[in-house]
Structure 1
Amino acid sequence: MSNLVITGGSRLCGIIEVPGAKNAVLPVLAATLLNKGTSILENCPELDDVTTMLEILGALGCGIRREGSRIEVDASRLTASSIPEALARKMRSSIIILGALLARCGEVHVSYPGGCEIGLRPIDMHLKALSQMGAQIDGINDGILCCRAEKLTGCEILLDYPSVGATENIMLAASMAEGETIIRNAAKEPEIDDLQAFLRKLGVQVSGAGTGVIRIQGTREIKAEPVHRIIPDRIVAGTYLAAAAATGGSLVVTGVIYDHIGSVLYCLKRCGCRIKNYSGNVIALESNGNLTALDLVRTSPYPGFPTDMQPQMVALLSKCRGTSVVVETVFENRFRYTEQLMKLGADISVQGRTAIIRGVDKLKAAQLEARDLRGGAALVIGALAAEGTSSISGVNYIDRGYERMEKVLSSIGADIKRVET
């Protein structure tokens, strides 16, 4: 186990390059199961979740070769249709294997997915959609979900909510289904567009990503040798920009897509940060540390403010003058981390899905525990802005979404180190 030991008070100044997106690479890795050939992915982040996904693919019979940020997946010979329970329970995104494996093998056995405990994340929309396409869902017995389909048939699917995971699972299943599948009220996140780009390289006719309606024309035989570069991680970019803002720093972020984090940049500007955009993929932020509160931030599906940036924004608002209100509309338990921020001296009141943050002049060091991925990132921001030396346990959660965070932050002036316990 590891702890992050952080001595706050240093301004974050410098340049960082954003790695590939966790939430993009995982569904693309699942999509490699559709290919009866070798897929090459570039700009893949070195994260625990990516390692877990590769272990799942390996357990299914895929050949895996990984060199830094480059991954090769040979899915020409699958030997299994069951996902090991221990691996599936490590992360929520394991459920994205469902659609691809069902399409390729006609059968899949997977345990109910695990991950961060930030609220109920039911997979009913996934299962309902697959049932509409002809899958038989045997239900969850002893925690194992069994799905079978002699043939998947394209159909029209209306999602009750623009779920990213459900949209991706349907796209994967529909890629090898007979006929056309239409997804209405589809998620619009950039990661959906990245999955579409990869599927097209496999020869799948798919269009509409980024809109509310996606159309997929299925094909039974997929054998290609695609080379695909994963899009940059908008949440990692937003996290480091929020950290620089909280410490009164000056940060240049490269390799980012400006439009992907437009809502985050809008809030940072409203707080008083100065932001410049160069060539669409370089963002410069300057903060004097004397920032002002936001009257209301409400999370919502893309292009709204992302729920995955909500904890980091609350950490920043804890040091902003005035009172801010943050409403969480996606995950009902996402404010659990605020108890830890309050150990630093943050003044936060949570009422259901609403947090009221009254900015304080100073935060002071404390012993903290990360209990989920983005909440852990929020604690890092709080500790960087606090006086004294803080220690954060539960670093395994942070490692699921941030590639060597302590090294990145050290490179721009943070006093942070990883200590093995």
Structure 2
Amino acid sequence: MTLTAVPSQSLVTPQLEISGGRRLSGDLRVSGAKNSALVLMAACLLSEDGLRLRNVPPLTDIAAMGEILAALGVGVRRGGDWIEMDGRTLNKSAPPYELVNSLRASFFCIGPLLARLGVARVPLPGGCQIGTRPVVEHVKGLKALGAQVTIEHGVVSAVVPGRGHRLSGGRIHMDCPSVGATETLMMAAVLADGETVIENAALEPEVVDLAGLLIAMGARIRGAGTPSITIVGVDRLHGADYAVIPDRIEAGTFLLAAAITRSTLRVSPVIPEHLGAVLTKLEEAGALLEADGTAMTISAETINAVDLRTQPFPGFPTDLQAPFMSLLATAKGTSVITENIFENRLQHVAELQRMGAAIRMQGNTAFIEGVHRLSGAPVQGSDLRASAAMVLAGLAAEGITRVQGLEYLDRGYADFEGKLNAVGASIRRHGG
């Protein structure tokens, strides 16, 4: 008798199977901001006291950062939506390559390690492959604070020379307003000797959130959220109990999920000031928005073409460019999207075309002629936000869409399919 082997479920490529064409309704809850929580976790390296963060999303990136901190000697404890970190046992200045390689946010550790220990060795980071994200601004800024920095064999080594191993305040002008560099240099400067001024600083809400935590820990910072941040160094920071801001990108993704399915949804908590450019474009496209305290209700019946260009905050966020393109693929008329932040962040175009989207590329600009209906197809998410864009397209498509690339999606969205299913979507996860 011949036996036919049955493939193990564990060998099936993880994917989401989406039955499209369903209207959504109800309430969607937004988790804490991943991009903020990761850098706030790194701030625990600055103090010997305990740090407790609340509203922390249950994501693979958060778990990875916890492993990196634990490898440095930090005590890490997690429960529900909170995480506690104890920096008293910090005893290493070099996180292991195998952990750092998969998480770009791990590079945030270089600033607080240098400020606290006077030495740091951090491998160049990995993460989503969406283009060049150089660390030149980080390095230039750390040198301005008195550090000696070298890059060899893919590792950035920094040391504070002389006795005391304490950085010195200085003036830093950034050639581009890098969010990561702004945050790294803020953490390096809070324990430096004297005053530091960061010019052309990033304006993002995550920078303001970091400043809020550092101030709660005893730092002296003013100007966060403006192009000029002033930091007066202190001798030590103490512990704190702090809540992470809501994730503006997740909130925007849910608003787009309502728009692409021509539905009405209530999304909360939302801080409208964090999504100004996105809300403006949604209204310009024909969506109706109503703010009620910390909630935002969106209704969409007809979506019209709009043009947008990604820019640093407060401009349109690059992290919502791909999901917004999915929406515009179903709009009336021709839209134009220009990606100005990451040169490789248009890889989702080919996948949307596979679903019937009419998109023409010219350099970093996409011309999108809206179609009446997308068609379900097997698609691949090439990065975190592209994966979310594929899910949104699947919600609106006719038939079945199978989305691979969940290793990216799970890095930035907590229980994405569970939340959408709760408001009427039909999404099943297979494999993994």
1-structure distance, mates of 2:18, 2:275: 27
Residue equivalent to 1:308: 319
Kept in 2: contact 1:182–1:214 (CA 8 A): yes
How big is the shift at 1:151?
2.8
Residue equivalent to 1:84: 96
Q: Is 1:339 equivalent to 2:350 in the alignment?
A: yes
Residue equivalent to 2:106: 94
How big is the shift at 1:128?
0.6
Q: Is 1:260 equivalent to 2:274 in the alignment?
A: yes
2-structure distance, mates of 1:402, 1:90: 17
Ranges in structure 2 where 5+ consecutive residues have no aligned partner: 1-12
Kept in 2: contact 1:258–1:282 (CA 8 A): no
Aligned pairs for 1:3-402 within 5 A: 3-141=15-153, 143-149=154-160, 150-222=165-237, 224-279=238-293, 281-288=294-301, 290-294=302-306, 296-402=307-413
How big is the shift at 1:302?
0.8
* Deviation sequence 1:189-212 (CA, Å, 0-9, x none): 111110000000111100111111
* Deviation sequence 1:2-49 (CA, Å, 0-9, x none): 211101000121101111001111111111110111011000001111
Instruction: Give the TM-score of the pair, scaled to structure 1.
Output: 0.97
1-structure distance, mates of 2:430, 2:31: 24
How big is the shift at 1:372?
0.3
Bigger Rg over Cα: 2
* Deviation sequence 1:267-306 (CA, Å, 0-9, x none): 1111111110112x11000011x21101x20111111111
* Deviation sequence 1:167-207 (CA, Å, 0-9, x none): 00000000111101000110011111100000001111001
SS in 1 for 2:412: coil
How big is the shift at 1:108?
1.1
Superposed CA RMSD in Å reads: 0.9
SS in 1 for 2:88: coil
How big is the shift at 1:252?
0.2
How big is the shift at 1:220?
2.5
**Residue type matched to 1:333 in 2?**
N
SS in 2 for 1:409: helix
Percentage identity across paired residues of the two chains: 44
SS in 1 for 2:137: helix
1-structure distance, mates of 2:187, 2:375: 48
2-structure distance, mates of 1:50, 1:2: 20
How big is the shift at 1:155?
0.5
* Deviation sequence 1:301-354 (CA, Å, 0-9, x none): 111111111101101000001000011111011001111111101111121111
1-structure distance, mates of 2:313, 2:385: 17
SS in 2 for 1:76: helix
How big is the shift at 1:101?
0.9
Kindly tell me the number of residue pairs found equivalent between the two proteins: 416
2-structure distance, mates of 1:225, 1:86: 29
How big is the shift at 1:225?
2.9
**Residue type matched to 2:329 in 1?**
S
How big is the shift at 1:397?
0.1
SS in 2 for 1:32: helix
* Deviation sequence 1:114-140 (CA, Å, 0-9, x none): 011111000001001101111111212
**Residue type matched to 1:363 in 2?**
L
* Deviation sequence 1:340-369 (CA, Å, 0-9, x none): 111101111121111111101110011111
SS in 2 for 1:231: coil
2-structure distance, mates of 1:344, 1:305: 25
Kept in 2: contact 1:28–1:195 (CA 8 A): yes
Kept in 2: contact 1:341–1:379 (CA 8 A): yes
Kept in 2: contact 1:189–1:210 (CA 8 A): yes
**Residue type matched to 2:196 in 1?**
T
1-structure distance, mates of 2:411, 2:260: 23
How big is the shift at 1:51?
0.6
* Deviation sequence 1:226-250 (CA, Å, 0-9, x none): 1100000000000011011000111
Ranges in structure 1 where 5+ consecutive residues have no aligned partner: none
**Residue type matched to 2:232 in 1?**
Q
2-structure distance, mates of 1:18, 1:301: 22
SS in 2 for 1:400: helix
2-structure distance, mates of 1:38, 1:184: 31
How big is the shift at 1:68?
1.0
**Residue type matched to 2:273 in 1?**
D
SS in 2 for 1:6: strand
